[in-house]
Structure 1
Amino acid sequence: MPESADDDALPPGRRRGTRGPAQDEAVSAAIEAAAFDELAAAGWRRLSMDTVARRAGVGKAALYRRWRSKEAMLLDLVARLVRREVPGVPDTGTLAGDVRGFLDLTVAQTADPRVVRIAVDLLGESVRNPALAESLRLAVLAPRREAAAAILWRAVERGELPAGLDPELGTDLLISPLLLRLLPGTPPVDGVYLDTLTTVIVAGLASATPSTSPARQTEPGHIHHGP
Protein backbone atom coordinates (compact mmCIF):
# COMPACT_ATOMS: atom_id res chain seq x y z
CA MET A 1 0.00 0.00 0.00
CA PRO A 2 1.60 3.34 -1.02
CA GLU A 3 2.28 5.95 1.59
CA SER A 4 -0.36 8.71 1.74
CA ALA A 5 0.77 12.23 0.95
CA ASP A 6 -1.35 13.39 3.86
CA ASP A 7 0.47 11.31 6.45
CA ASP A 8 1.76 13.25 9.48
CA ALA A 9 4.70 10.88 9.76
CA LEU A 10 8.16 12.28 10.05
CA PRO A 11 10.10 9.07 9.27
CA PRO A 12 9.59 7.51 5.82
CA GLY A 13 7.14 4.62 5.74
CA ARG A 14 4.94 5.71 8.61
CA ARG A 15 1.27 5.61 7.66
CA ARG A 16 -1.77 7.25 9.18
CA GLY A 17 -3.06 4.00 10.61
CA THR A 18 0.18 3.36 12.50
CA ARG A 19 0.24 6.66 14.40
CA GLY A 20 0.06 6.52 18.15
CA PRO A 21 -0.11 9.21 20.87
CA ALA A 22 3.67 9.52 21.11
CA GLN A 23 3.97 9.93 17.34
CA ASP A 24 1.21 12.53 17.28
CA GLU A 25 2.96 14.44 20.06
CA ALA A 26 6.23 14.32 18.12
CA VAL A 27 4.50 15.64 14.99
CA SER A 28 2.80 18.42 16.96
CA ALA A 29 6.12 19.40 18.54
CA ALA A 30 7.80 19.45 15.12
CA ILE A 31 5.03 21.66 13.72
CA GLU A 32 5.25 24.07 16.67
CA ALA A 33 9.02 24.39 16.36
CA ALA A 34 8.77 24.87 12.59
CA ALA A 35 6.02 27.48 12.92
CA PHE A 36 8.04 29.60 15.35
CA ASP A 37 11.24 29.19 13.34
CA GLU A 38 9.42 30.25 10.17
CA LEU A 39 7.65 33.13 11.92
CA ALA A 40 10.96 34.43 13.25
CA ALA A 41 12.62 34.10 9.83
CA ALA A 42 9.86 35.20 7.46
CA GLY A 43 7.41 37.18 9.57
CA TRP A 44 3.63 36.95 9.86
CA ARG A 45 2.82 38.12 6.33
CA ARG A 46 5.22 35.85 4.43
CA LEU A 47 4.65 32.74 6.51
CA SER A 48 2.43 30.08 4.92
CA MET A 49 1.12 26.64 5.84
CA ASP A 50 3.24 25.21 3.00
CA THR A 51 6.49 26.61 4.38
CA VAL A 52 5.72 25.45 7.91
CA ALA A 53 4.88 21.93 6.68
CA ARG A 54 8.12 21.73 4.69
CA ARG A 55 10.20 22.94 7.60
CA ALA A 56 8.49 20.46 9.93
CA GLY A 57 8.89 17.60 7.47
CA VAL A 58 5.17 16.75 7.41
CA GLY A 59 2.37 16.82 4.87
CA LYS A 60 0.35 20.02 4.68
CA ALA A 61 -2.77 18.04 5.63
CA ALA A 62 -1.17 17.46 9.06
CA LEU A 63 -1.55 21.19 9.68
CA TYR A 64 -5.07 21.49 8.29
CA ARG A 65 -6.25 18.62 10.45
CA ARG A 66 -5.27 20.75 13.44
CA TRP A 67 -6.06 24.31 12.26
CA ARG A 68 -8.27 25.79 9.56
CA SER A 69 -5.86 28.59 8.61
CA LYS A 70 -2.44 30.13 9.15
CA GLU A 71 -3.95 32.68 11.51
CA ALA A 72 -5.69 30.01 13.61
CA MET A 73 -2.48 27.97 13.79
CA LEU A 74 -0.24 30.81 14.89
CA LEU A 75 -2.64 32.25 17.43
CA ASP A 76 -3.22 28.82 18.95
CA LEU A 77 0.50 28.08 19.15
CA VAL A 78 1.27 31.51 20.63
CA ALA A 79 -1.48 31.09 23.23
CA ARG A 80 -0.17 27.63 24.18
CA LEU A 81 3.35 28.96 24.50
CA VAL A 82 2.23 31.81 26.72
CA ARG A 83 0.27 29.44 28.95
CA ARG A 84 3.41 27.33 29.37
CA GLU A 85 5.90 30.17 29.70
CA VAL A 86 4.09 33.11 31.29
CA PRO A 87 6.07 34.12 34.37
CA GLY A 88 5.07 32.23 37.45
CA VAL A 89 4.04 34.48 40.30
CA PRO A 90 7.04 34.52 42.65
CA ASP A 91 6.21 34.66 46.35
CA THR A 92 9.38 35.66 48.15
CA GLY A 93 7.61 37.30 51.09
CA THR A 94 8.51 40.86 50.04
CA LEU A 95 7.39 43.16 47.24
CA ALA A 96 10.97 43.87 46.19
CA GLY A 97 11.77 40.16 46.00
CA ASP A 98 8.61 39.43 44.02
CA VAL A 99 9.29 42.27 41.58
CA ARG A 100 12.87 41.14 41.01
CA GLY A 101 11.71 37.56 40.51
CA PHE A 102 9.12 38.68 37.98
CA LEU A 103 11.77 40.67 36.08
CA ASP A 104 14.21 37.75 36.12
CA LEU A 105 11.59 35.42 34.66
CA THR A 106 10.75 37.93 31.94
CA VAL A 107 14.40 38.21 30.95
CA ALA A 108 14.71 34.43 30.88
CA GLN A 109 11.76 34.21 28.51
CA THR A 110 13.50 36.45 25.98
CA ALA A 111 16.81 34.58 26.03
CA ASP A 112 15.76 32.91 22.77
CA PRO A 113 16.36 35.58 20.07
CA ARG A 114 13.33 34.31 18.14
CA VAL A 115 11.03 35.53 20.90
CA VAL A 116 11.91 39.20 20.48
CA ARG A 117 11.82 39.02 16.67
CA ILE A 118 8.40 37.37 16.73
CA ALA A 119 7.06 39.80 19.33
CA VAL A 120 8.14 42.84 17.34
CA ASP A 121 6.74 41.39 14.11
CA LEU A 122 3.36 40.57 15.69
CA LEU A 123 3.20 43.98 17.34
CA GLY A 124 3.73 45.70 13.99
CA GLU A 125 1.18 43.50 12.26
CA SER A 126 -1.41 44.04 15.00
CA VAL A 127 -1.39 47.79 14.26
CA ARG A 128 -2.80 46.96 10.81
CA ASN A 129 -4.92 44.01 11.93
CA PRO A 130 -7.44 44.77 14.71
CA ALA A 131 -8.57 41.14 14.94
CA LEU A 132 -4.99 40.01 15.48
CA ALA A 133 -4.48 42.77 18.05
CA GLU A 134 -7.50 41.60 20.04
CA SER A 135 -6.44 37.96 19.86
CA LEU A 136 -2.93 38.80 21.05
CA ARG A 137 -4.33 40.95 23.86
CA LEU A 138 -6.32 38.01 25.17
CA ALA A 139 -3.72 35.31 24.54
CA VAL A 140 -0.50 37.13 25.45
CA LEU A 141 -1.09 40.30 27.43
CA ALA A 142 -3.93 39.21 29.72
CA PRO A 143 -2.08 36.28 31.37
CA ARG A 144 0.98 38.43 32.01
CA ARG A 145 -1.12 41.17 33.57
CA GLU A 146 -2.90 38.62 35.75
CA ALA A 147 0.48 37.39 37.00
CA ALA A 148 1.57 40.96 37.76
CA ALA A 149 -1.72 41.70 39.52
CA ALA A 150 -1.19 38.76 41.86
CA ILE A 151 2.12 40.29 42.98
CA LEU A 152 0.41 43.62 43.69
CA TRP A 153 -2.46 42.04 45.58
CA ARG A 154 -0.12 40.11 47.87
CA ALA A 155 1.83 43.31 48.58
CA VAL A 156 -1.41 45.08 49.51
CA GLU A 157 -2.34 42.22 51.84
CA ARG A 158 1.12 42.43 53.48
CA GLY A 159 0.70 46.20 53.92
CA GLU A 160 3.59 47.04 51.59
CA LEU A 161 1.34 48.88 49.12
CA PRO A 162 -1.68 51.13 49.76
CA ALA A 163 -5.09 49.48 49.63
CA GLY A 164 -6.17 52.09 47.09
CA LEU A 165 -3.49 51.10 44.58
CA ASP A 166 -4.44 51.74 40.96
CA PRO A 167 -4.20 48.18 39.55
CA GLU A 168 -3.87 49.15 35.90
CA LEU A 169 -1.08 51.61 36.59
CA GLY A 170 0.57 49.11 38.91
CA THR A 171 0.65 46.36 36.29
CA ASP A 172 1.95 48.86 33.72
CA LEU A 173 4.83 49.70 36.04
CA LEU A 174 5.67 46.03 36.55
CA ILE A 175 5.59 45.07 32.88
CA SER A 176 6.30 47.94 30.52
CA PRO A 177 9.75 49.34 31.42
CA LEU A 178 11.59 46.04 31.07
CA LEU A 179 9.80 45.01 27.87
CA LEU A 180 10.85 48.27 26.23
CA ARG A 181 14.45 47.66 27.31
CA LEU A 182 14.36 44.19 25.74
CA LEU A 183 13.54 45.49 22.25
CA PRO A 184 16.23 45.13 19.53
CA GLY A 185 18.89 47.81 19.53
CA THR A 186 18.72 48.56 23.25
CA PRO A 187 21.60 48.06 25.71
CA PRO A 188 21.88 44.62 27.31
CA VAL A 189 20.15 43.94 30.60
CA ASP A 190 22.37 42.89 33.51
CA GLY A 191 21.99 42.37 37.22
CA VAL A 192 22.84 45.96 38.10
CA TYR A 193 20.15 47.24 35.75
CA LEU A 194 17.57 44.82 37.18
CA ASP A 195 18.47 45.82 40.76
CA THR A 196 18.00 49.49 39.90
CA LEU A 197 14.79 48.85 37.98
CA THR A 198 13.41 46.87 40.93
CA THR A 199 14.08 49.80 43.26
CA VAL A 200 12.43 52.25 40.86
CA ILE A 201 9.35 50.05 40.33
CA VAL A 202 8.84 49.48 44.06
CA ALA A 203 9.09 53.22 44.70
CA GLY A 204 6.69 53.95 41.86
CA LEU A 205 4.16 51.39 43.07
CA ALA A 206 4.04 53.06 46.47
CA SER A 207 2.82 56.22 44.71
CA ALA A 208 0.47 54.51 42.23
CA THR A 209 -2.73 55.71 43.84
CA PRO A 210 -6.01 55.64 41.92
CA SER A 211 -7.00 58.38 39.54
CA THR A 212 -10.21 60.31 40.10
CA SER A 213 -11.98 58.11 37.57
CA PRO A 214 -14.27 55.65 39.42
CA ALA A 215 -13.75 53.08 36.65
CA ARG A 216 -10.09 52.68 37.65
CA GLN A 217 -10.71 52.26 41.38
CA THR A 218 -10.74 48.47 41.46
CA GLU A 219 -8.92 45.82 43.46
CA PRO A 220 -5.37 45.00 42.33
CA GLY A 221 -6.51 41.40 41.86
CA HIS A 222 -9.05 42.48 39.24
CA ILE A 223 -7.72 43.17 35.77
CA HIS A 224 -9.88 45.17 33.42
CA HIS A 225 -9.21 43.87 29.91
CA GLY A 226 -11.28 46.40 28.05
CA PRO A 227 -9.87 49.49 26.29
Structure 2
Amino acid sequence: MPERRRGAALEKALLDAAWEELTAGGYARFTMDAVVQRAGTSPPVLYRRWSDRDALVRAAITHVLERSRVEVPDTGSLREDVLTLLRTINATRVQLVTAMSAHLAGYHQATGAGLGDLLATGRENPADAIFDRAVDRGEIAPDRLSERVKSLPFDLLRHEILVTRAPAPDDVLEEIVDTIFLPLVR
Protein backbone atom coordinates (compact mmCIF):
# COMPACT_ATOMS: atom_id res chain seq x y z
CA MET A 1 0.00 0.00 0.00
CA PRO A 2 1.44 3.43 -0.95
CA GLU A 3 2.44 5.81 1.80
CA ARG A 4 -0.21 8.40 2.60
CA ARG A 5 0.75 11.92 1.57
CA ARG A 6 0.05 14.83 3.88
CA GLY A 7 0.65 18.54 4.19
CA ALA A 8 3.05 20.11 1.73
CA ALA A 9 3.77 16.79 -0.03
CA LEU A 10 0.08 16.23 -0.69
CA GLU A 11 -0.48 19.79 -1.87
CA LYS A 12 2.52 19.56 -4.23
CA ALA A 13 1.20 16.27 -5.64
CA LEU A 14 -2.23 17.81 -6.21
CA LEU A 15 -0.85 20.94 -7.86
CA ASP A 16 1.54 18.90 -10.02
CA ALA A 17 -1.40 16.70 -11.10
CA ALA A 18 -3.48 19.80 -11.85
CA TRP A 19 -0.72 21.30 -14.00
CA GLU A 20 -0.21 18.00 -15.84
CA GLU A 21 -3.94 17.78 -16.47
CA LEU A 22 -4.07 21.38 -17.69
CA THR A 23 -1.18 20.86 -20.11
CA ALA A 24 -2.52 17.51 -21.29
CA GLY A 25 -5.98 18.71 -22.26
CA GLY A 26 -6.16 22.46 -21.87
CA TYR A 27 -8.60 24.42 -19.77
CA ALA A 28 -11.68 23.26 -21.69
CA ARG A 29 -11.06 19.63 -20.69
CA PHE A 30 -9.76 20.39 -17.21
CA THR A 31 -11.93 18.86 -14.48
CA MET A 32 -11.57 18.35 -10.77
CA ASP A 33 -12.36 14.64 -11.28
CA ALA A 34 -9.48 14.27 -13.76
CA VAL A 35 -7.09 15.85 -11.24
CA VAL A 36 -8.37 13.51 -8.50
CA GLN A 37 -7.69 10.53 -10.80
CA ARG A 38 -4.25 11.77 -11.86
CA ALA A 39 -3.23 12.50 -8.26
CA GLY A 40 -4.58 9.19 -6.99
CA THR A 41 -6.67 10.77 -4.25
CA SER A 42 -10.32 11.42 -3.40
CA PRO A 43 -12.61 14.36 -4.22
CA PRO A 44 -12.91 15.57 -0.61
CA VAL A 45 -9.11 15.87 -0.39
CA LEU A 46 -9.10 18.17 -3.41
CA TYR A 47 -12.24 20.16 -2.60
CA ARG A 48 -11.02 20.90 0.94
CA ARG A 49 -8.24 22.93 -0.62
CA TRP A 50 -9.88 24.38 -3.75
CA SER A 51 -13.61 24.94 -4.08
CA ASP A 52 -13.72 24.95 -7.88
CA ARG A 53 -11.64 24.38 -10.97
CA ASP A 54 -10.79 28.07 -11.48
CA ALA A 55 -9.29 28.30 -8.00
CA LEU A 56 -7.32 25.11 -8.67
CA VAL A 57 -6.10 26.37 -12.05
CA ARG A 58 -4.90 29.62 -10.46
CA ALA A 59 -3.13 27.67 -7.69
CA ALA A 60 -1.49 25.28 -10.19
CA ILE A 61 -0.20 28.17 -12.30
CA THR A 62 1.15 29.97 -9.24
CA HIS A 63 2.82 26.70 -8.15
CA VAL A 64 4.49 26.21 -11.53
CA LEU A 65 5.66 29.82 -11.69
CA GLU A 66 7.08 29.66 -8.16
CA ARG A 67 9.12 26.56 -8.89
CA SER A 68 10.36 27.95 -12.18
CA ARG A 69 11.55 31.33 -10.91
CA VAL A 70 14.85 32.52 -12.30
CA GLU A 71 17.46 34.38 -10.33
CA VAL A 72 17.54 38.11 -10.98
CA PRO A 73 21.03 39.09 -12.14
CA ASP A 74 23.08 41.95 -10.72
CA THR A 75 25.82 42.69 -13.25
CA GLY A 76 26.18 46.38 -12.40
CA SER A 77 24.49 47.63 -15.58
CA LEU A 78 20.86 47.84 -16.70
CA ARG A 79 21.70 46.61 -20.18
CA GLU A 80 23.56 43.54 -18.96
CA ASP A 81 21.00 42.78 -16.23
CA VAL A 82 18.09 42.83 -18.69
CA LEU A 83 20.05 40.89 -21.33
CA THR A 84 21.17 38.29 -18.77
CA LEU A 85 17.61 37.82 -17.53
CA LEU A 86 16.25 37.57 -21.09
CA ARG A 87 18.97 35.04 -21.97
CA THR A 88 18.12 32.93 -18.91
CA ILE A 89 14.40 32.96 -19.70
CA ASN A 90 15.16 32.25 -23.35
CA ALA A 91 17.39 29.29 -22.50
CA THR A 92 15.17 27.70 -19.86
CA ARG A 93 11.53 28.74 -20.27
CA VAL A 94 10.49 28.25 -23.92
CA GLN A 95 8.36 25.19 -23.11
CA LEU A 96 6.74 26.89 -20.10
CA VAL A 97 5.96 30.09 -22.04
CA THR A 98 4.43 28.08 -24.88
CA ALA A 99 2.41 25.84 -22.55
CA MET A 100 1.12 28.77 -20.50
CA SER A 101 -0.02 30.67 -23.58
CA ALA A 102 -1.60 27.69 -25.31
CA HIS A 103 -3.41 26.28 -22.30
CA LEU A 104 -4.52 29.54 -20.76
CA ALA A 105 -6.30 30.77 -23.87
CA GLY A 106 -9.31 28.67 -22.90
CA TYR A 107 -9.14 29.98 -19.35
CA HIS A 108 -9.16 33.54 -20.65
CA GLN A 109 -12.14 32.83 -22.94
CA ALA A 110 -14.13 31.20 -20.14
CA THR A 111 -13.35 33.62 -17.32
CA GLY A 112 -12.17 36.83 -18.95
CA ALA A 113 -9.06 36.72 -16.74
CA GLY A 114 -5.74 37.28 -18.45
CA LEU A 115 -2.31 36.06 -17.47
CA GLY A 116 -1.69 39.32 -15.64
CA ASP A 117 -4.76 38.65 -13.50
CA LEU A 118 -3.42 35.19 -12.68
CA LEU A 119 -0.03 36.55 -11.75
CA ALA A 120 -1.34 39.38 -9.58
CA THR A 121 -0.42 37.89 -6.24
CA GLY A 122 0.36 41.09 -4.40
CA ARG A 123 4.09 40.36 -4.44
CA GLU A 124 6.63 42.64 -6.02
CA ASN A 125 7.96 41.56 -9.38
CA PRO A 126 11.50 40.25 -8.81
CA ALA A 127 12.67 41.98 -11.99
CA ASP A 128 11.80 45.31 -10.33
CA ALA A 129 15.11 44.98 -8.47
CA ILE A 130 16.89 45.46 -11.82
CA PHE A 131 15.08 48.72 -12.43
CA ASP A 132 15.48 49.96 -8.84
CA ARG A 133 19.24 49.42 -9.03
CA ALA A 134 19.42 51.17 -12.43
CA VAL A 135 17.56 54.18 -10.99
CA ASP A 136 19.90 54.22 -7.98
CA ARG A 137 22.92 54.17 -10.32
CA GLY A 138 21.44 57.04 -12.34
CA GLU A 139 21.18 54.95 -15.52
CA ILE A 140 17.48 55.65 -16.02
CA ALA A 141 14.88 58.17 -14.94
CA PRO A 142 12.18 56.66 -12.72
CA ASP A 143 9.43 58.66 -14.46
CA ARG A 144 10.15 56.70 -17.68
CA LEU A 145 9.40 53.35 -16.00
CA SER A 146 5.70 52.58 -16.36
CA GLU A 147 4.65 48.99 -15.73
CA ARG A 148 4.21 48.53 -19.49
CA VAL A 149 7.71 49.80 -20.23
CA LYS A 150 9.22 47.54 -17.55
CA SER A 151 7.44 44.50 -18.99
CA LEU A 152 8.25 45.37 -22.61
CA PRO A 153 11.49 43.37 -23.08
CA PHE A 154 9.87 40.29 -21.52
CA ASP A 155 6.67 40.72 -23.53
CA LEU A 156 8.71 40.98 -26.75
CA LEU A 157 10.66 37.85 -25.85
CA ARG A 158 7.42 35.98 -25.10
CA HIS A 159 6.03 37.11 -28.46
CA GLU A 160 9.17 35.93 -30.26
CA ILE A 161 8.97 32.53 -28.54
CA LEU A 162 5.29 32.13 -29.38
CA VAL A 163 5.78 33.07 -33.03
CA THR A 164 8.83 30.87 -33.62
CA ARG A 165 8.18 28.13 -31.00
CA ALA A 166 11.91 28.23 -30.32
CA PRO A 167 14.44 30.21 -28.31
CA ALA A 168 15.19 33.62 -29.79
CA PRO A 169 18.63 34.17 -31.35
CA ASP A 170 20.95 36.34 -29.25
CA ASP A 171 20.93 39.15 -31.82
CA VAL A 172 17.15 39.40 -31.36
CA LEU A 173 17.59 39.72 -27.58
CA GLU A 174 20.19 42.45 -28.11
CA GLU A 175 17.89 44.26 -30.53
CA ILE A 176 15.03 44.13 -28.00
CA VAL A 177 17.26 45.69 -25.34
CA ASP A 178 19.41 48.09 -27.38
CA THR A 179 17.02 49.29 -30.07
CA ILE A 180 13.64 49.17 -28.35
CA PHE A 181 13.89 49.09 -24.56
CA LEU A 182 16.88 51.22 -23.59
CA PRO A 183 15.88 54.21 -25.78
CA LEU A 184 12.53 54.28 -23.96
CA VAL A 185 14.03 54.54 -20.49
CA ARG A 186 16.97 56.86 -21.12
Using structure 1 for the length normalisation, give the TM-score: 0.68
Pair 1:140-2:140 in alignment:
no
CA contact (8 A) 1:173 1:201 kept: no
| 1:176 paired residue number | 155
1:143 CA drift (Å): 7.8
Hey, what's the Cα distance between the residues in 2 that align with 1:64 and 1:187?
36
CA contact (8 A) 1:95 1:202 kept: no
Specify whether residues 43 and 125 from structure 1 end up closer, same or farther in structure 2 by C-alpha distance, changes over 3 A only: same
CA contact (8 A) 2:79 2:182 kept: no
1:209 CA drift (Å): 5.3
Q: Which moved more, 1:27-36 or 1:120-129?
A: 120-129
Pair 1:157-2:147 in alignment:
no
1:75 CA drift (Å): 0.7
Candidates 197, 200, 214, aligned match of 2:173: 197
Q: What are the superposed Cα offsets for residues 184-208 of structure 1, whole Å, 9 maximum, x if unpaired?
A: x615325xx2344234413433321
The 5 Å alignment of 1:51-90 reads 51-90=34-73
Hey, what's the Cα distance between the residues in 1 that align with 2:23 and 2:79?
34
* Aligned residue-pair number: 186
Specify whether residues 144 and 84 from structure 1 end up closer, same or farther in structure 2 by C-alpha distance, changes over 3 A only: farther
Q: What are the superposed Cα offsets for residues 128-173 of structure 1, whole Å, 9 maximum, x if unpaired?
A: 422x33xx42442678983333322322322323454242342232
| 2:78 paired residue number | 95
Specify whether residues 143 and 149 from structure 1 end up closer, same or farther in structure 2 by C-alpha distance, changes over 3 A only: farther
One-letter code aligned to 1:106: I
When you count helix as a share of all residues, which structure comes out higher?
2
1:101 CA drift (Å): 2.0
Hey, what's the Cα distance between the residues in 2 that align with 1:70 and 1:40?
14
CA contact (8 A) 1:91 1:98 kept: yes
Which runs of 5 or more structure 2 residues have no equivalent in the other structure? none
Match of 1:34, SS state, is helix
Pair 1:123-2:102 in alignment:
no
Q: Considering only CA atoms, is the larger Rg found in Structure 1 or Structure 2?
A: 1
Using structure 2 for the length normalisation, give the TM-score: 0.80
Pair 1:188-2:166 in alignment:
yes
Match of 1:44, SS state, is helix
1:61 CA drift (Å): 1.7
CA contact (8 A) 2:36 2:46 kept: yes
CA contact (8 A) 1:48 1:70 kept: yes
C-alpha RMSD over aligned residues: 3.0
CA contact (8 A) 1:87 1:144 kept: no
Percent identical across equivalent pairs? Answer: 30
